[in-house]
Chain A
Amino acid sequence: ETGVTQSPTHLIKTRGQQVTLRCSSQSGHNTVSWYQQALGQGPQFIFQYYREEENGRGNFPPRFSGLQFPNYSSELNVNALELDDSALYLCASSLAPGQHNEQFFGPGTRLTVL
Chain B
Amino acid sequence: AQTVTQSQPEMSVQEAETVTLSCTYDTSENNYYLFWYKQPPSRQMILVIRQEAYKQQNATENRFSVNFQKAAKSFSLKISDSQLGDTAMYFCAFLLIQGAQKLVFGQGTRLTINP
* A40–B106 alpha-carbon span in the complex (Å): 11
* A55–B43 alpha-carbon span in the complex (Å): 26
Contact B44 A103 (CB under 8 A): no
Q: How large is the interface on A (under 10, 10 to 19, 20 to 34, 35 or more residues)?
A: 20 to 34
Contact A103 B101 (CB under 8 A): yes
- SS class, residues of chain A in contact with chain B: strand
B36-48 vs A: 1/0 string, CB under 8 Å? 0100001111110
Contact B47 A102 (CB under 8 A): yes
Q: Does B65 sit at the interface, judged by CB under 8 A?
A: no
Q: Does A68 sit at the interface, judged by CB under 8 A?
A: no
* A108–B103 alpha-carbon span in the complex (Å): 16
* A57–B105 alpha-carbon span in the complex (Å): 15
- Name the CB-closest residue of A to B102: A45
Q: What are 28 A-to-B residue pairs whose CB atoms are below 8 Å?
A: A31-B101, A33-B101, A33-B103, A40-B108, A41-B107, A42-B4, A42-B91, A42-B106, A44-B105, A45-B104, A56-B102, A88-B43, A90-B45, A92-B103, A94-B101, A97-B99, A97-B101, A98-B97, A98-B101, A101-B33, A103-B101, A103-B103, A105-B44, A106-B44, A107-B43, A107-B44, A108-B44, A110-B43
